[in-house]
Chain A
Amino acid sequence: SQKIEQNSEALNIQEGKTATLTCNYTNYSPAYLQWYRQDPGRGPVFLLLIRENEKEKRKERLKVTFDTTLKQSLFHITASQPADSATYLCALPLRGSQGNLIFGKGTKLSVKP
């Protein structure tokens, strides 16, 4: 069955540094991958979508890469700020579905001032 793994449960970095989060998947070749941000007790908020034919996508201080050979996506936040502290979830479409997602467990990012 398809598996999605976010290797780090938690990541602590200093303000101003670049945060890099990893998402790996197996037994699947998804057409796209998404990243969401979730704050405690709130619903996830969509950040970026990257398709299988795109190597990299950027949005302001966010950058996502998608390596279909390694079956891995990297999510970068440059010039991180304490307000970036949250849990970041990667999500893939369920195999055989159109738009239904399976989420990774998430990485809790803490940015210290």
Chain B
Amino acid sequence: DTEVTQTPKHLVMGMTNKKSLKCEQHMGHRAMYWYKQKAKKPPELMFVYSYEKLSINESVPSRFSPECPNSSLLNLHLHALQPEDSALYLCASSQDLGGTHYEQYFGPGTRLTVT
């Protein structure tokens, strides 16, 4: 199974709402990532978890809060977002951060619209 799943596929939320994005992989990968992608732009790294510990936080606003409950799951909690946060949110995983297995497997993304 080389699949990364993400739920929901689409999410519309108001600026005062609290919602969560979910990501799951069953490839035994130990590194998981959140990316944000705006239209016609490349994916931008937001967070990296390695062995369930936050490894990198790329100066992301605190209204985005990641969580890694176990090695297969990754959540992104959203609170008090702004309309400019509307984007495609991608989850990815890789076997590890180090070693020779660097390719990342991406999920299909959650299309988020903030109204």
Which residue in chain B gives the minimum CB-CB distance to A105?
B42
- Considering only residues 26-65 of chain B, those with a C-beta below 8 Å from chain A are 31, 33, 40-43, 45, 48, 56
CB proximity of A48 to chain B, nearest CB, Å: 9
Which residue in chain A gives the minimum CB-CB distance to B55?
A100
Which residue in chain A gives the minimum CB-CB distance to B94?
A99
Count residues of A near B (Cβ-Cβ below 8 Å).
Answer: 22
Q: Which of A32, A46, A49, A103 contacts B43 (CB 8 A)?
A: A103
B113 proximal to A (CB < 8 A) = no
- Across the interface, do A93 and B102 meet the contact criterion of CB distance under 8 Å? yes
Hey, what's the 0/1 contact readout for B64-96 against A, CB within 8 Å counting as 1?
000000000000000000000000101010101
Residues of A within 8 A of B (CB): 32, 34, 41-46, 49, 89, 93-94, 97-106
Interchain residue pairs with CB less than 8 A apart (16): A43-B4, A43-B106, A43-B108, A43-B109, A44-B104, A46-B103, A46-B104, A98-B98, A99-B96, A99-B98, A99-B102, A102-B45, A103-B42, A104-B42, A105-B40, A105-B42
